[in-house]
């Protein structure tokens, strides 16, 4: 690579990481604004893209341009959020159109499962990923930490926070 600042980012030198973020954030923000509902969401997209870029910096091989690599990550994050938002909105529309079941309704279990899924989809990314891996896929804390690239304590904290967030949303489904 011919850009010492980018080389510093890839080597995780703190001053170079900061200056690289300052240098490329405006372009990433302009891209994110095309996908986001508002400026706050665009900033969230850019922040998530930077975290992902930093975590995956060792995967950049210098074959393409560094800004192209960054913008691709940013676009992928934005598209992923857009799909997630559309999925949540469709689930909300479906829930709104479904009549309330009676106490002996045979579809009660399906509705309960749907409510759980809808509630899980509203969780922040790390909490949602943790719930899916630990509770739905049945991975251990260690396996979940390895899959997410974080410490086991982080997995435990995320699961605790997720369950705390889910409790009030699912009170009506508790026997």
**Predicted pLDDT at 173:** 66
Smallest Cα–Cα separation from 163: which of 174, 149, 152, 147? 174
Enter the pTM of the model.
Answer: 0.49
3-class state of residue 5 by DSSP: helix
**What integer pLDDT is reported at residue 112 of this predicted model?**
74
pLDDT per residue of the chain (175 residues) written in tens, 0 to 9: 567 767 777 777 777 778 888 888 999 999 999 888 889 999 999 999 999 988 888 888 777 788 888 989 999 999 888 887 777 776 676 666 555 544 555 566 677 777 888 888 888 989 988 988 888 778 889 988 988 899 999 999 999 999 898 888 888 766 5
Cα 92 from Cα 122, distance rounded (Å)? 11
pLDDT of residue 97: 59
Distance CA 52, CA 69 (A): 11
Full 3-state SS string of 26-47: HHHHHHHHHHCCCHHHHHHHHH
Q: How many other CB atoms are there within 10 angstroms of residue 152's CB atom?
A: 14
**Domains, the chain:** 4-81 (1.10.1740.10), 105-173 (1.10.10.10)
């Amino acid at each position: 690579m011919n850009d010492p600042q980018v080389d510093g980012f890839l080597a995780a030198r703190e001053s170079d990481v900061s200056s690289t973020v300052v240098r490329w954030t405006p372009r990433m923000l302009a891209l994110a604004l095309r996908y986001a509902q508002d400026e706050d969401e665009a900033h969230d997209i850019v922040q998530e893209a930077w975290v992902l870029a930093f975590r995956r910096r060792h995967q950049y091989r210098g074959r393409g341009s560094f800004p192209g690599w960054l913008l691709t990550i940013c676009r992928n994050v934005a598209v992923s959020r857009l799909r997630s938002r559309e999925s949540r909105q469709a689930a909300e529309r479906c829930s709104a159109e479904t009549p309330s079941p009676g106490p002996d309704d045979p579809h009660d279990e399906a509705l309960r499962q749907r409510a759980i899924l809808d509630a899980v989809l509203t969780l922040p990314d790390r909490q949602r990923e943790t719930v899916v891996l630990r509770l739905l896929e049945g991975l251990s804390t260690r396996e979940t930490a390895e899959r997410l690239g974080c410490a086991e304590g982080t997995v435990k904290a995320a699961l605790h926070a997720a369950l705390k967030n889910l409790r009030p949303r699912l009170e009506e489904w508790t026997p």
